[in-house]
Structure 1
Amino acid sequence: MNHIIPKVDSEQLFTKVRKLLLDMLETGAFANTEKLPSEENLAKSLGVSRSVLRDVLAIFEAEGYITRKRGIGTLVNRHIINAVTRLDIEKEFMELINDAGYTPKIAFVNVEKQRAASDIAQGLAIDEGQEIIAVERLVLADNMPAILCTDHIASSLVLVREYSNDELFKPIFYFLEKYCNEEVVHNLTKVEPVLAKSRISSLFNIEEGVPLFYMSEVGYNIYNRPVLLSKEYHNPKILSYSILRKKF
């Protein structure tokens, strides 16, 4: 009788180790330490190979959580770990709001087919007037309006025509991967302050003219083609952001 030996999903293992080690740095065994054990001892304690651990530590160093110095070891950057809302690290809205100490909730999701205005067409590299799918959602933090986001994708990207709008209630990345066979590998984001206009002020329960944090973000696939354009309004009274800037 032949037995099938399942393969170990290395990506899943990497994700599990990353989450576990970050939890240990934030609130667990390493919450009060300034220096991590050696790679050999840490890998042995976690029950993983040094190569998996080394990949996780490389990401942590890029994100600023640690600094590795030859002859010194792996130093923990506690002030970076304590910066809970980082603009330079991509996170889903629900996770972002949860990290900020609030309970996240989706107030509404509106799905609509539209014709691309000039700015949307330029961002998605499509013709003006081409059909797009616009998904608007309002995210609450402890029932307070925190983020209004509208995602735009070209209808021509959708490979599976039979789908429910409920599928678009989930994070847009899920829809892109499942129905468009597309994955956003990096984003280019324009950040600027704007003044709340009538509809935004009404949704956010603020007066018109109050400053808001605005981001226009284009998501690119592995071939550097734009597949997603998002317009986001963030309530600065609820969410404030830090950015890690590193010298290379």
Structure 2
Amino acid sequence: MAAKRGKNSAHSRNDRSVSSIWNELLYDIRFGRYKDADKLPPETELAAKLGISRTQLRDGLAILEQSGFITRRRRIGTVINRHVTEVSTRIDLEVEFLDMIAQAGYIPGTIHLEVKTITDNEKVASKLQIPLHSPVLSVARVVTADGRPAIYCVDHVPYERIKDYNFTPKDLEPPIFHFIENFCHTSIYMDLTEVSPYTADEHISELLQVPVGAPVLHLDEVAYNINDEIILYSDEYYADGILNHIVLRKKF
């Protein structure tokens, strides 16, 4: 599987984010200079190649280790866990849908984008922990894999979290994380996800192009920022037979 690399190498030492370092390292491990390696080079050498400080490097390595891609072992070095890096999709990692589809080897796309304001949904209000009738921005989309509907997702953002109302439906076409960063002026730090089986009703059947009653994976997700504030509630449905849903579990 091929991947498209971001333009990270031109960044200076001081403007590299941890996520960009993490992404570049993971790319190099999966597809780049370390794709055939068992271990990463020593920190000094690796930091020099990336053009970053050792402190920045350690932050990136810490995320890779937390995600299970590497293991740092005393007197041995930084070991690459190939049995983990070879997994194309994992539901325990917060990955944008389009990236998830691409990582699974498909061409991603988006259809059926619907944007509206809702005020009367008891379940949504309960999940967001806001009073009923409070305005909520609802963004529904179908994500495709090689043109085939793969994921139906409805994102809900409470209006009280939006800081900049100067947005248009065009601003909601990218993954919802971009809207949250640009118009809510915050970012997702973690989420709690309930995973359950679901049988497609007529609405889901039409959107995912599966028979009524077909098995569908349902993810019910509440996302928080670093201040423990609820920022997003997502209702997600995954068509069967397109993505492998794998979870990494580590012993502590």
Q: What's the TM-score once normalised by structure 1's chain length?
A: 0.90
Matches within 5 A, 1:84-233: 84-233=88-237
Unaligned runs of 5+ in 1: 1-6
**Is the 2:13–2:52 Cα contact (8 Å) retained in structure 1?**
no
Deviations 1:27-80 (A, max 9, x none): 222212212222223333444332222222111111111111112211110010
Deviation string, structure 1 residues 125-179 (Cα, Å, up to 9, x no partner): 1112222111100111100000100011122333333432222222222222322
User: Counterparts of 1:124 and 1:169 in 2: how far apart (Å)?
Assistant: 22
Report the equivalent of 2:7.
none
Identity %: 37
Equivalent residue of 2:75, what SS?
A: coil
Cα separation, 2, equivalents of 1:76 and 1:70? 14
Q: Which runs of 4+ in 1 moved over 6 A?
A: none
8 A Cα contact 1:39 1:50, kept in partner: yes
Residues 116 and 132 in structure 1, CA contact (< 8 A), matched pair in contact too: no
Q: Which SS does the other structure have where 1:148 is aligned?
A: strand
Would you say how many aligned residue pairs link Structure 1 and Structure 2?
Answer: 242
Q: Distance in 2 between matches of 1:161 and 1:50?
A: 40
Contact 2:13 2:51 in 1 (8 A): no
Q: How far is the alpha carbon of 1:16 from its aligned partner?
A: 4.0
Following superposition, the deviation at residue 17 of structure 1 comes to 3.4
Partner of 1:57: 61
Q: 2:25 pairs with 21, 25, 37, which one?
A: 21
Larger radius of gyration: 1
Q: CA deviation at 1:222?
A: 2.2
Q: Secondary structure at the match of 1:202?
A: helix
> What TM-score do you get using the length of structure 2 for normalisation?
0.89
Aligned pair partner of 2:36 in 27, 32, 43: 32
Cα RMSD, aligned residues only: 1.9
SS in 1 for 2:153: strand
Q: 1:227 to 1:32 in 2, by over 3 A?
A: same
